[in-house]
Structure 1
Amino acid sequence: MVTPVNPPPLGGTSSPALAGAGPRPVAALSEGVRVRVLRLVHGDPRAAVEAADRLTERQAAGLDPLPAEPVELAPERLSAQRREVRALPEDTRLVLLLAAADQYPVATHAFLRAVAAVRLDTRPLEAAEAAGIAYATAGGVGFRDAWTRIAAYETASPADRRDVHRLLARVLHGPAETPRRAWHRGAAALGPSARLAAELTEAAARARSAGDPALACALAERAAALCTDPRERPRLLARAAADSWRAGESDRSRALAARMAAEGDADGDADAVTGVLALRTGHAGEAFDALLAGAVRAARPRPARTVRAARAPEGAAADLLARAAEAAVYTGDLRRCQDAVRAAREAGIDPPGVLGGLAAAVDGRYEDARDLLEATAGRCGPGGDPTSLLHAGIAALMLGDHTRAATAAVRAAAAARARGAAVLVSQAMEFRAYADFWTGRPHAAEAAALDALRQAYATGQDNGACHLQAALAMFAALTGDGELCRERAAAARSHALAHGLGLPAALAQWALAFLDLGNSRYDAAAARLRALAASGPGHGHRAVRHLAAPHYVEAAARTGDTRVARAAHADYDRWARAVGSPDELALSARCRALLTPGADALPHYATALDLHTQGDRAFERARTELLFGSALRRLRRRTEARDRLHSALQAFESFGAPHCAEGARAELRALGAPATSTRAGARLSTRLTAQQLLIARMAADGATNREIAARLALSPRTIDHHLRGVFTRLGIRSRIDLVRLLADSDGG
């Protein structure tokens, strides 16, 4: 093992691939697993090849956690490094051992003090420098790579390891160094010790409060190994699992949770940990059940313990209820919110605002839902708890306040980074993407979503990645990239249906319908949106169905099927009037215009545009102008129609939505007016999507398709598709032309 901690083996984590199946290529792994394997082996491609071939079928599919330590993934890679270290003189290996123990898995920065304390001769380091294994730095010793550092630790005897840990503990004195001193004391222990377990538990609490969940995990895990009370061990493992999850180490967290379950009941901690893990990696319905059960159990008084974890994982009962609300949002089974509200009240817990708001909305009590959501959305000030800020953003989105939603999401991500909660950063960006998309910043939204997708895969949040894939499908629909939209939507729906995720499943379906709508395939769009309305929990989502109502009304009105469209509009109008959002009211007015024949529709279009000026959904404003201009053209009001259509054309081009822009041009041609385009002189940022521009710049810098794919967590085939799209949009035929065009654009 890399660390001095010796946990029990993780069942099935190091079994090789099926005998006789041949080596498994890294590219054959699921996207999330591939990203995590590369991260675990420190980006080493040779180690990644070895690791891929050692995974079980369930690990390769992402169903079981990967080994928590790189040595378990690529032992042959480490074996070569061990041979190099063993060839060094004994005193050189001792210096390297001290440096390695000082750096990993807990960085303590005490090497120089330890050297001074025992007057250790560091001249033997010259042999390591001559061999190219390590080198002297201002702070101590730098290793050639992570594998060399691991080998330097692993080749030492257990007695030598304990000695260097005792030395490092002795030179760590300050109050801020207490957690790291406790770590080394625990690492030097010969066996179980109640006193050391208590010291490590207290140190873990300090590290947790200081926003260092990775250190807290190491301390809590070691405390569990040294704990003499079998009743306390599950609690400590639960704490370690929660800390490792916050730090973005999903595989370690899942392995610790399995060990916790094997140890026995942790008074509700098991429900909390498994619920949080299931929310982001497993089945959302099971997550809801576990989180609700954990919240109810956490609300009960707990008996005193000898060594006690500070709180249940993921906090108190209210925090678990908040997570249960998220699970209900993801499943699309919003009636679960009513169950949670009842259970909360029976347990004497005040239900979170999002939970109560959703429950009220399910009952049709829109005014009550508005008040509860408004109270939650108002809690988006800087410096707050990241989960509370995230919920404020979700509430603001439901209220149609996209500016406040974006603010809450940005602040949630900042608060999560400050607290070391890596997993919450990408989750916050999931919902920021909605706000950026609707407020006319599709390129920023796409770039943010791509970054969040990489983070979600790296931290093992496959359910979050699924949601982001669905959001990216919507962005592709906006830009008219049909192939990418269908690829993203298919990936999202496949994962969503297997994990009970109604939200991304519905969003992906909406994206496909939106693509059809933008390409004037009204029958197909209406059929998809009707299917969305009929989809049950885990397959669809009432909130997405509601948000898509204006698009359904448009598609249905174009096909003459207005009966169901009028019912959908009536419910949408009720919500729009309840929340009072200018954008929601504008879209309701647009629906009314679409359902009103002849010239009587024009005042409703005018009302919609007036309301759009007070809101922030710039793309929908452009669609309203296109529909208004089309109606004016049919009524032969040429001057007004031309102004509206030109305005829509320019907006669509600025958004990078060529298929929508073509719709405006077609209307202008039917009007007999010149379809003047701003595209010829547009900068590349308005002619390409954010992802296309990023790929174009990488290609211009000389990266191959495979290298770009690895960096963006996409397949080489997808990169090839994107580059072909870039060449088509820019009217070029080679990478040489691309380099020249990018240089000219940057220069301009």
Structure 2
Amino acid sequence: MLTPVNPTSLDRTSPPSRTDTGRTLDPALPEGVRIRLLRAVYGDPRAAAELLPRLTPRQAAGLDPLPTEPASLAPELLARHRREIRALPDDTRLLLLLAAADQYPVATHAFLRAVAAARLDTRPLEAAETSGVAHATAGGVVFRDAWTRIAAYETGSPADRRDVHRLLARVLRAEGETPRRSWHRGAGALGPSVRLTAELRTAAQQARDAGEHPLACALVERAAALCLDPREQSRLLNRAAGDAWQSGEGDRARRLAAATDSDALNGVFALRAGNAAESFDALLTAVARREPAESGADLRPASGSTEVPRTVAAPRTPAPDHAVHLLARATEAAIYTGDLRRCREAAAVASRVGIVPHGTLGGLAAAFEGRYEDARDLLKAAAGRCGPGGDPTLLIHAGIAALMLGDHTRATTATVRAAASARARGATVVVAQTMEFRAYAEFWTGHPRAAETATADALWQAHATGQDNGACHLQAALAMFAALTGDGDVCRERAAAARSYALGRGLGLPAALAQWALAYLDLSSGRFAAAAARLRALAGFGPGHGHRAIRHLATPHYVEAAVRSGDTRIARAAHADYDRWARAVRSPDDLALSARCRALLAPGDEAVEHYRIALDLHARGTRDFERARTELLFGGALRRLRRRTEARDRLHTSLEAFESFGAPHCAAQARAELRALGTPVAATALPTPGAPTTCLTAQQLMVARMAADGATNREIAVRLALSPRTIDHHLRGVFSRLGIRSRIELVRLLAEGEAS
């Protein structure tokens, strides 16, 4: 019996509404499992309720991939839809079968041409419209939902399915339709065929080059089904797994790769959803073993892929760019673990096998060894490769290099271009990854609210595509945004979730970022000793505990916390190393922060000149948030030196900046300093009823909109991966900021805001 590729990938680029994620599923499920489960069943609550009790304990915990075949997802729901289709007239069912076959794995838009070529009568579609199963449009047939479309296809006999596929293949003759024609030819085949296998493989490469990874996956899977050579079949399934992964089908990719021994595939999957140390080992082994690109391990976006003709033996040496990509992934794994010595190990392997790696790898290795000038040169070369249209992975690495250099403008440019390039190439899986590193630049450039919204969106995408490690990193970023905006409950909750997950997967980077967020919350709330203790632990040993690079980036905050809690000895040592790096890279912001540290460590009047130098350097940089904090610290120092007029000016400047950034904790510190000067400043007045919602944080606005839509606190908590207690806190804050008392008033206010 012919079993074409399952059409579940068809709607993956149009996932169910995110507001559906909490209505039917057990909130005890991990957030990533909830999102992927609903995405797998097209957001249908009936299918979700049927699938949930069928999950194994490992699937429910997110350790094993979810089912991907319709019969495994919701067999009872599918059976009901089949009965509904079978009740229709034969002519109607044939037209629905043709329409369903035309719509997967991606729409071919050949239905009307096929109807004309076969001289079919479309009047029987009226029965489908009457029953509510589907309706005809100028462009073809639109099914009631995805499950109805699947049922319409599966109720057809094997012979009828082959016939409609052959019919569609005959009419797909236009330029650019070759991959879709080959797909239908393969789906209409009776059995194994060497010729069709080769055709499907070639068509898959064409689809891949066009960024159509779902179609490429379907083509290669079908080629594997028609292939008689077990070794070739395994290679084809590996290739299909790579395409499934690129298109965001994480569960499908892991299922396809389950029976393979590809170190590269296993390394990439572990990098995004497993143990980072194991990922590093697997990826480096793939490079050392010279694992070939055509094994399926080449998980690059479409452009530049190379496929070796199957008429000759596949070489054991990967294409140079493929090896560079494997090293880039290994570098990411090393960054995630926090064990930057692994970067040096990867650089050594690259040298041994004759590969010139991307500069980010060498730069990190040099920085770890204290060779700051060498690190600067390598990282600058890597950061300079951020032109438009480049490879998304290498653009992300350019962004990482720019972040290390303190160049937040270039880091933002590189990651924005990486996302655009990934979308253009159909590499859905890469889009969420770009925000992981872009978030660092957004922290300090004065855009926490907009960045919080973008990061929350990326968090959903990471979960939906099976990238739970990336989701952990994004959770930590959201904790930092919450710290900047003074939302202590959300900061602590996000940080706790990130640290708990990170510890189990050896992810030092998100663990350290979450700890930094908690430390910043302490620092901006005046808990200096607690902040210093947290920041000292940022380089904690062991996977999942700390990260040396994060500790280095947080040094200015550590110096401030240590000085204000009376511990200057370690602060001076930390500053000395930071200053050496700042002087090597010559970043205005890093030099400004080093000058600020020097001011904090200097006595009395001596500090004033260092603060002035810091502000002059800030004026040439981009870290607006840190510039405001320098103004705050300078104002406090001037107040203690009884330079009241200048102190008042500095403090007012910092207060205005913090209020514009939406950072109430820091604004409160500025007000406290002004009160100490005898210049009381009232807190920003709360808006009156009917005021615009621009005063809300991004998180508060999301909560407010869900509440206005009728969601309960528990449902909102499930959707945002927060606790009901935190949602209650958010709603109280929303009501207070908007000057209202009830959800009825909230509905009216939001409606008025949208109308205006």
Normalised to the residue count of structure 1, the TM-score between the two structures is 0.93
User: 671, 695, 703: which one pairs with 1:695?
Assistant: 703
In structure 1, the residue matched to 2:14 is: none
Pair 1:383-2:375 in alignment: no
In structure 1, the residue matched to 2:120 is: 120
Counterpart AA for 1:373: L
User: 529, 533, 558: which one pairs with 1:523?
Assistant: 529
Counterpart AA for 2:343: C
Give the drift of 1:200.
0.6
The answer as to whether partners of 2:503 and 2:543 remain within 8 angstroms in 1 is no
Pair 1:289-2:294 in alignment: no
In the TM superposition, 1:48-59 aligns within 5 A as 48-59=48-59
The answer as to whether partners of 1:248 and 1:423 remain within 8 angstroms in 2 is yes
**Compared with structure 1, are the counterparts of its residues 206 and 708 closer, same or farther at alpha carbon in structure 2 (3 Å cutoff)?**
same
In the TM superposition, 1:224-243 aligns within 5 A as 224-243=224-243
User: 431, 435, 439: which one pairs with 1:433?
Assistant: 439
Q: Which runs of 5+ in 1 are unaligned?
A: 8-23, 262-269
How many aligned residue pairs are there? 724
Counterpart AA for 1:651: A
Give the drift of 1:731.
4.2
In structure 2, the residue matched to 1:18 is: none
Aligned partner of residue 200 in structure 2, secondary structure: helix
* Residue range with higher mean Cα deviation, 366-375 or 173-182: 173-182
**Compared with structure 1, are the counterparts of its residues 111 and 57 closer, same or farther at alpha carbon in structure 2 (3 Å cutoff)?**
same
In structure 2, the residue matched to 1:658 is: 664
Aligned partner of residue 141 in structure 2, secondary structure: strand
User: 624, 627, 631: which one pairs with 1:625?
Assistant: 631
Give the drift of 1:677.
4.7
**Compared with structure 1, are the counterparts of its residues 74 and 308 closer, same or farther at alpha carbon in structure 2 (3 Å cutoff)?**
farther
In structure 2, the residue matched to 1:306 is: 311
User: 496, 506, 514: which one pairs with 1:508?
Assistant: 514
Aligned partner of residue 135 in structure 2, secondary structure: strand
User: Could you tell me how far apart the structure 2 residues matched to 1:133 and 1:744 are?
Assistant: 38
In structure 1, the residue matched to 2:326 is: 320
* Residue range with higher mean Cα deviation, 185-194 or 608-617: 185-194
Taking only the aligned residue pairs, the percentage that are identical comes to 74
User: 397, 402, 405: which one pairs with 1:396?
Assistant: 402
User: Could you tell me how far apart the structure 2 residues matched to 1:741 and 1:6 are?
Assistant: 46
Pair 1:559-2:565 in alignment: yes
Give the drift of 1:431.
1.3
**Compared with structure 1, are the counterparts of its residues 2 and 148 closer, same or farther at alpha carbon in structure 2 (3 Å cutoff)?**
farther
Aligned partner of residue 679 in structure 2, secondary structure: coil
User: Could you tell me how far apart the structure 2 residues matched to 1:62 and 1:313 are?
Assistant: 34
In structure 2, the residue matched to 1:265 is: none
Counterpart AA for 1:79: A
User: Could you tell me how far apart the structure 2 residues matched to 1:659 and 1:280 are?
Assistant: 35
Aligned partner of residue 260 in structure 2, secondary structure: helix
Give the drift of 1:227.
1.3
Give the drift of 1:244.
0.6
Q: 1:135-170 CA distances to partner (integer Å, 9 max, x unpaired)?
A: 111122111111111111111121211111111111
Q: 1:245-289 CA distances to partner (integer Å, 9 max, x unpaired)?
A: 11000000000110334xxxxxxxx11111111111111111111
Aligned partner of residue 575 in structure 2, secondary structure: helix
The answer as to whether partners of 1:586 and 1:608 remain within 8 angstroms in 2 is yes
The answer as to whether partners of 1:197 and 1:307 remain within 8 angstroms in 2 is no
In structure 2, the residue matched to 1:19 is: none
User: Could you tell me how far apart the structure 2 residues matched to 1:126 and 1:390 are?
Assistant: 52
The answer as to whether partners of 1:284 and 1:500 remain within 8 angstroms in 2 is yes
In structure 2, the residue matched to 1:146 is: 146
In structure 1, the residue matched to 2:732 is: 724
Counterpart AA for 1:195: R
User: Could you tell me how far apart the structure 1 residues matched to 2:639 and 2:2 are?
Assistant: 72
User: 235, 247, 266: which one pairs with 1:274?
Assistant: 266
Aligned partner of residue 466 in structure 2, secondary structure: coil
In the TM superposition, 1:31-180 aligns within 5 A as 31-180=31-180
In structure 2, the residue matched to 1:464 is: 470
Give the drift of 1:638.
0.8
User: Could you tell me how far apart the structure 2 residues matched to 1:103 and 1:647 are?
Assistant: 59
Give the drift of 1:220.
0.9
Give the drift of 1:235.
1.4
In the TM superposition, 1:248-647 aligns within 5 A as 248-261=248-261, 270-298=262-290, 305-306=310-311, 316-647=322-653
Aligned partner of residue 361 in structure 2, secondary structure: helix
**Compared with structure 1, are the counterparts of its residues 480 and 539 closer, same or farther at alpha carbon in structure 2 (3 Å cutoff)?**
same
Give the drift of 1:313.
11
Give the drift of 1:300.
7.3
**Compared with structure 1, are the counterparts of its residues 75 and 49 closer, same or farther at alpha carbon in structure 2 (3 Å cutoff)?**
same
Normalised to the residue count of structure 2, the TM-score between the two structures is 0.92
Aligned partner of residue 252 in structure 2, secondary structure: helix
Aligned partner of residue 78 in structure 1, secondary structure: helix
**Compared with structure 1, are the counterparts of its residues 442 and 584 closer, same or farther at alpha carbon in structure 2 (3 Å cutoff)?**
same
**Compared with structure 1, are the counterparts of its residues 654 and 746 closer, same or farther at alpha carbon in structure 2 (3 Å cutoff)?**
farther
Pair 1:734-2:738 in alignment: no
**Compared with structure 1, are the counterparts of its residues 283 and 677 closer, same or farther at alpha carbon in structure 2 (3 Å cutoff)?**
same
Give the drift of 1:398.
0.6
Aligned partner of residue 368 in structure 1, secondary structure: helix
Give the drift of 1:189.
1.8
User: Could you tell me how far apart the structure 1 residues matched to 2:386 and 2:475 are?
Assistant: 26
Counterpart AA for 2:413: T
* Residue range with higher mean Cα deviation, 245-254 or 526-535: 526-535
The answer as to whether partners of 1:2 and 1:150 remain within 8 angstroms in 2 is no
Q: 1:305-348 CA distances to partner (integer Å, 9 max, x unpaired)?
A: 43889997996111111111111111111000111111101101
Give the drift of 1:418.
0.3
Q: 1:60-92 CA distances to partner (integer Å, 9 max, x unpaired)?
A: 110000011343111111111111111111221
User: Could you tell me how far apart the structure 2 residues matched to 1:503 and 1:153 are?
Assistant: 47
**Compared with structure 1, are the counterparts of its residues 583 and 747 closer, same or farther at alpha carbon in structure 2 (3 Å cutoff)?**
farther
**Compared with structure 1, are the counterparts of its residues 71 and 571 closer, same or farther at alpha carbon in structure 2 (3 Å cutoff)?**
same
Counterpart AA for 2:741: R
User: Could you tell me how far apart the structure 2 residues matched to 1:212 and 1:395 are?
Assistant: 30
Aligned partner of residue 231 in structure 1, secondary structure: helix
Aligned partner of residue 705 in structure 2, secondary structure: helix
Counterpart AA for 1:202: T
In structure 1, the residue matched to 2:305 is: none
**Compared with structure 1, are the counterparts of its residues 211 and 301 closer, same or farther at alpha carbon in structure 2 (3 Å cutoff)?**
closer
Say what the alpha-carbon RMSD is for the aligned residues: 2.4
User: Could you tell me how far apart the structure 2 residues matched to 1:501 and 1:211 are?
Assistant: 31
Aligned partner of residue 424 in structure 1, secondary structure: helix
Counterpart AA for 1:221: E
* Residue range with higher mean Cα deviation, 378-387 or 693-702: 693-702
In structure 2, the residue matched to 1:12 is: none
Give the drift of 1:714.
5.1
Q: 1:503-526 CA distances to partner (integer Å, 9 max, x unpaired)?
A: 000000111111111110111111
Counterpart AA for 1:697: R
The answer as to whether partners of 1:509 and 1:528 remain within 8 angstroms in 2 is yes
User: Could you tell me how far apart the structure 2 residues matched to 1:510 and 1:372 are?
Assistant: 27
The answer as to whether partners of 1:235 and 1:308 remain within 8 angstroms in 2 is no
User: Could you tell me how far apart the structure 2 residues matched to 1:239 and 1:86 are?
Assistant: 37
The answer as to whether partners of 1:457 and 1:465 remain within 8 angstroms in 2 is yes
Counterpart AA for 1:699: A
In the TM superposition, 1:661-676 aligns within 5 A as 661-676=667-682
Give the drift of 1:500.
0.9
Aligned partner of residue 598 in structure 1, secondary structure: coil
Larger relative contact order (C-alpha < 8 A, sep ≥ 6)?
Answer: 2
In structure 2, the residue matched to 1:16 is: none
Aligned partner of residue 136 in structure 2, secondary structure: strand
User: Could you tell me how far apart the structure 1 residues matched to 2:577 and 2:480 are?
Assistant: 24
Give the drift of 1:616.
0.9
Aligned partner of residue 636 in structure 1, secondary structure: coil
Give the drift of 1:27.
2.5
Aligned partner of residue 27 in structure 1, secondary structure: coil
Give the drift of 1:711.
5.6
